[in-house]
Chain A
Amino acid sequence: MLVSLKTLKNYVDISNLDAKEIANGLTFAGIEVEEVTSLASGTGLRIGHIDECVPHPDSDHLHVLKVNFGDEVKQIVCGAPNARSGLNVIVATIGAKLPGGEIKPTTIRGVESNGMCCSLLELGVDAKYLNENQTKGIEELPSDAPIGERDVLGYLGLDDSVLNLKILANRPDLLSLYNVAREIGAIFNRKVNIPTYEVKDNFKTDLVVGSKTSRCSQFSGREIRGIVTKESPKYIKESLMAMGVRSINNIVDIGNYVMLLTGQPLHMYDLDKLSKHELIAKDDLSVEFVALDEKTYKIIPGDIVITSNNHAMCLGGVMGSLECAVDANTKNIYIEAASFDGASVRHTSSRLGLASESSSRFVKGTNHFQAEEVINFASYLIKENCDAKEFSNIVTYQSEQKIDSVLSCSTKRINNRLGTEFNEKDIKDVLSRLSFKIKEINEDEFEVTVPTFRLDVTCEADISEEVIRLLGFSNVKSVLPTLEVKVGGLSLRQSRLRKIREMLLATGLDECLTYSLLSKDNATKFNLLNDEEHYELLNPLTDEREVFRTHILYSLLESASYNVNRQNRDLALFETSNMMSKVSRSEHLAAVLVGNELNRELMNKTPYDFYHMKGVVEDIFTLLGIESSRYRFERYESNKEELHPGKSARIIFQNITIGVFGELHPNAKKELGFNKTNVVALEMDLEPILESKVSISKMTPISKFPTVSRDLAFIIKKEVSAADILKVIKKNGLGILKEAKIFDVYEGENIFKDSKSVAITMTFGKEGTLVDKEINDVLVRIKYELSHAFDVEFRM
């Protein structure tokens, strides 16, 4: 809402307040002022008369002018095509400051120039208010313009400051300059003077008004005959310009002016174009409608239509029809001030893409009980400016009764809500300033009658807001709440998640954040854990972001690829995030390792592989105290070319797959732009382990007896896994084998292609002294069982 201070000051005393102070006052009363601007600006301006205009001797378009100010004559070089002798013009004299800079004496192609003839554009006036001639050349002032005048902006009516108010959804009443004046009066405790007008009727209308829909609760109007369309008076034009509306003609301008001042949109019909003397609001029409903009719109049931003879004359609150539009030849009009349901107007205007100052007022809410006052105001202006003499009676249809909204309040309750100690008098004073009517009940209690324009005030909490926004939040005592002491903090689940994230950071992985919305295509890529149905948006912005993801990994691979494309080649990334599908909700972890292990000596690079990620997974289990016996890895099988079939695994916990990890399939690497770099990826559902119970492990005594180590090396078929070998060994330890670990695996030269060499170190111990024979017996047994189970060849 743009508010012209020059217009405003007619209705509220703002003497001694500058625009900045007013803006500040409004802001701290909860009405944000986005900007304070001047309609035009410029110092050192003067009105002059062009005595002489001759072509510049050295130019085909410049002129050399002699401009007369009454007390002096200046030579000015001017390039405007409309410069001519006899014209009255605005001159920026030497030293003048304009939006574009300061004016200095110059010499243009050898001719001295002492000033500049200006267009309004050069004074900072927005081009939308200017016609073609005004933007192309210098401003042509009327012949009676006061020569020598220095208050040029004042003469032009451009000496106005404009406040740009950001109107929040609860204060549609401030889309009226009158109400802004009331608000400022209340804030600064200044006198407010909103005039009322009455134009008496001099004939009775036979035009019938009514409504067949609850979407139009009120409809008022009157006939006005014998109007003459012409230019608007200067003050209306200036006021409209300051408030962002272009002047058209007196009738249209009065409609807009009245709306800006009162907040009530008006509509005018050319009376002689109505097929029947009736205007009835309906909402059940399905017709084509040619609007004022000469375009055809489809009206559907639910749209509010003002009909005459069941014929659509106006799309209520949105736009009138071309058929009964007021034009330059209109003589008799019908003027309408109605109340339309905001939701319906919102649906209609957004469906048809027709939004206007009027429709937005209805959408946000208008005062339903000021129509006749507004019509009288408009009538007065029409009488004054459109030569109209015949005014009918005002006819009103109103389906709702005016019931005052009365709220019971108490000083104590208001102070309790606010944490303040305002006395009763201060509270009542503020409310009266804001046009609330107060009725005393007892010492503490009182009743407040809400003014009809304040649609937002419906309960005592709203009253407390009125009090605090005018008396100021600085009166609120800052006190920490005294609350019951209780065990707060993170839940087990939340703290486990926090620990996992902190551990991953400590082990050198970077924590990432990616978008939850994916394209349909990408939502299925690398979705290794589930294929539960995604949520899909009805109204996506782009097809890149139209489904709600159920996995993180694809997004994280995209981040990795983004980095690789920027020469960040070695990466360790992770993200945890809550996932939601149509059937479940759970916390996921994804990790991606790319290139070489970070932070190792540059000469000794270790490429990331399957086992690095296996380590990450094992670390998480260890961190949460989950023993290795409670989970296992199994080979991951898939028909998708996402993970390397030989270098990938499932994580099984409590017999369900909670994660999948592995090196990327070469084809997937190519598609994601990684090419030959190593990439290892993980997606894991953390939910089962965040909730899992962990028992407290009692201390195991440390043996006083020394242990003995023995190594065993053998050649075995490649496909036999380490886990299988260790299983056989551990099963045959006869109670003295404490540990068995693989410390070397070799494939290559001197060994058959289908085989590998495996070296194992075993630790033996017991509560007592071990003798060689005991160990040898176990070794013989292990060797026997190994050769029994697999095809092995022992090495020395």
Chain B
Amino acid sequence: MENQNINEIYENAMSEINESSTSEKLAELKIKFLAKKSVLMSLLSSLGSLPPEERKEFGLKLNETKAKIAEAISKKEEELRKEELAKKLASETIDISLPSRKRELGGQNPFYVVKDEITDIFLNMGFEVADGPEVETDLFNFELLNIPQDHPARDMQDTFYISDSVLLRTHTSPVQAHTMQNANGKPIRIICPGKTYRRDDDDATHSHQFAQIEGLVIDKDINIGHLKATLELFAKKMFGEKREIRLRPSYFPFTEPSVEVDITCANCDGKGCSMCKGTGYIEILGGGMVHPNVLKMNGYDPDIYSGFAFGIGIERVAILRYGIDDIRKFYQNDVRFLHQYRKKA
């Protein structure tokens, strides 16, 4: 009878455990089936009334059953814990498409993007960065660059004057003279990015303030081939490996020969389009061999030393590269414009 009872209790317990779906219910079952006063344990009291030969077997059976029920309960408990955790985690699901929590990088006026990039290209070629004042003397801005008083080339550059002999520099070229005078006749390899000023009314293509990057290399046996190769490298780094350059004769008082440098149009790959007015080329900078008079006036013997110089318009490069339609945009700093140029590594 007792054996029958044990089996019955076991069956009941198992089915109740299987049917339970919460840990609370399982706790109840634990009490119901395993506590001292449970049906199963109450059978223990009947142990004494059994004949001794049955006692051992019954006892074993009882313990076995208790262990089985306990195991079933803990197994079920584990199962339910997993389920409940899964349910809880599922309920915590977030919308991963919502905006991130971060600080947006600042926008950089494309002027600086281009200025830093050109600077880095020449730094990597072993150039150093020189510096000069924006308020200059007539001596450095003109005279020492082979542009004496009343030279017609002065008309090419309408100048803001501070006094008869002090002015806002009209180009970064005076830095050439400063650098030569400070270099004590040693070889030179510098660039100088800087602001320049001309007495022009501001409109979409003119600005009373603009910036240039001046380059100057002086050493023994420097020739136009060196200028050409240096600028070729620059053009490819700045505008892409496919770009070619072309030199055209031109005139600057402080270089001889002087050249204008054109690159193949990036828009049409040199085939000719509206951007390059059908020529396939776009003018990007001017340069040439440093004029012997300039070398002489600034402390270099033109029979021993030669050099090349060039000047790149920073805004012009940015305008070409980004298709900016109005030079005034650089100076307005509309953040909707700046935010189009987040710093790129």
Contact = CB atoms under 8 A, between A and B. Distances in A.
Interface of A: 27-30, 32, 168-172, 342-343, 346, 363-365, 416-420, 459-462, 464-465, 468-469, 473, 476-481, 483-486, 488-491, 494, 498, 501-502, 504-517, 535-541, 545, 548, 559, 562-563, 566, 568, 571-574, 578, 580, 585, 598-599, 601
A511 B112 contact: yes
A509 B107 CA distance: 7
Contact of A485 (B126, B131, B199, B306): B126
A483 B331 contact: no
Contacts of A460: 292
Contact of B127 (A473, A488, A545, A559): A488
Given A488-B126, A578-B134, A513 B109 contact: yes
A513 B333 contact: yes
B333 A514 contact: yes
Contacts of A563: 333-335
A510 B105 CA distance: 8
Contacts of A498: 116
Contacts of B208: 515, 517, 541, 545
Contacts of A516: 134, 195, 197, 209
Interface of B: 101-109, 111-112, 116, 123, 126-129, 131, 133-135, 149-153, 155-156, 160-163, 166, 168, 187, 189, 195, 197, 199, 201, 208-209, 217, 219, 221-226, 228-230, 232-233, 246-251, 253, 256-259, 289, 291-293, 306, 330-336, 338-339, 343
A568 B336 CA distance: 8
B126 A559 contact: no
A572 B106 contact: yes
A419 B250 contact: no
B335 A476 contact: no
B152 A172 contact: yes
Contact of B107 (A168, A343, A511, A514): A511
A29 B249 contact: yes
Given A169-B156, A417-B306, A418-B223, A511 B249 contact: no
Nearest to A573: B333
27 contacts: A169-B156, A169-B251, A172-B152, A363-B152, A365-B152, A417-B306, A419-B223, A419-B224, A419-B228, A420-B225, A459-B292, A464-B257, A469-B257, A473-B246, A481-B230, A485-B126, A486-B126, A490-B129, A505-B105, A510-B108, A510-B335, A511-B112, A517-B197, A537-B168, A538-B161, A562-B333, A574-B106
Given A416-B221, A535-B135, A342 B249 contact: no
Nearest to A537: B160
B306 A513 contact: no
A512 B338 contact: yes
B331 A514 contact: yes
Given A489-B128, A490-B129, A562-B332, A342 B106 contact: no
Contacts of A416: 221, 223, 306
Q: Does more than half of chain B's interface fall in helix, strand or loop, or is it mixed? A: mixed
A548 B168 contact: yes
Contacts of B151: 169
Contacts of B163: 538
Contacts of B251: 30, 168-171
Contacts of B189: 483, 488
A682 to B, nearest CB: 15
Nearest to B108: A511
Given A481-B217, A538-B163, 12 more contacts: A169-B156, A346-B155, A363-B152, A419-B226, A461-B291, A480-B230, A483-B126, A510-B109, A513-B112, A541-B199, A548-B162, A578-B195
Most central of B156, B201, B343 by chain A CB within 10 Å: B343
Contact of B223 (A417, A494, A568): A417
A461 B133 CA distance: 30
A28 B160 contact: no
Contacts of B335: 510, 563, 568, 571, 573
> Which 10 pairs show the lowest CB-CB distances between chains A and B?
A419-B225, A30-B249, A343-B150, A419-B223, A465-B257, A473-B247, A469-B249, A168-B251, A559-B333, A461-B256
A90 B336 CA distance: 58
A29 B223 CA distance: 19
A349 B2 CA distance: 135
Nearest to B128: A488
Given A513-B330, A538-B163, A566-B334, A476 B106 contact: no
A478 B168 contact: no
Contacts of B292: 459-461
Contacts of A506: 105-106, 343
Contacts of B201: 541
A169 B246 contact: no
B150 A342 contact: yes
Contact of B233 (A343, A468, A480, A491): A480
B251 to A, nearest CB: 4
Contacts of A477: 225
Contacts of B209: 515-517
Contacts of A419: 223-226, 228
A524 B109 CA distance: 26
Contacts of B289: 417, 461
Contacts of A486: 126
Nearest to B102: A599
B106 A537 contact: no
Contacts of B226: 419, 479-481
A371 to B, nearest CB: 21
B247 A169 contact: no
Contact of A483 (B111, B162, B219, B229): B219
A563 B339 CA distance: 13
Nearest to B231: A478
Contacts of A512: 109, 333, 338
Contacts of A568: 334-336
Given A29-B249, A510-B108, A580 B135 contact: yes
Contact of B123 (A462, A490, A510): A490
B117 to A, nearest CB: 12
B187 to A, nearest CB: 7
B106 A507 contact: yes
A502 B343 contact: yes
B249 A465 contact: yes
B224 A418 contact: yes
Contacts of A562: 332-334
Contacts of A485: 126
B249 A468 contact: yes
A689 to B, nearest CB: 18
Nearest to B292: A461
Contacts of A517: 160, 197, 208-209
Contact of B224 (A468, A483, A536): A468
Given A502-B343, A536-B162, A599-B102, A418 B257 contact: yes
Most central of A417, A473, A512, A536 by chain B CB within 10 Å: A512
A443 to B, nearest CB: 20
Nearest to B308: A481
A539 B159 CA distance: 9
Contacts of A540: 160
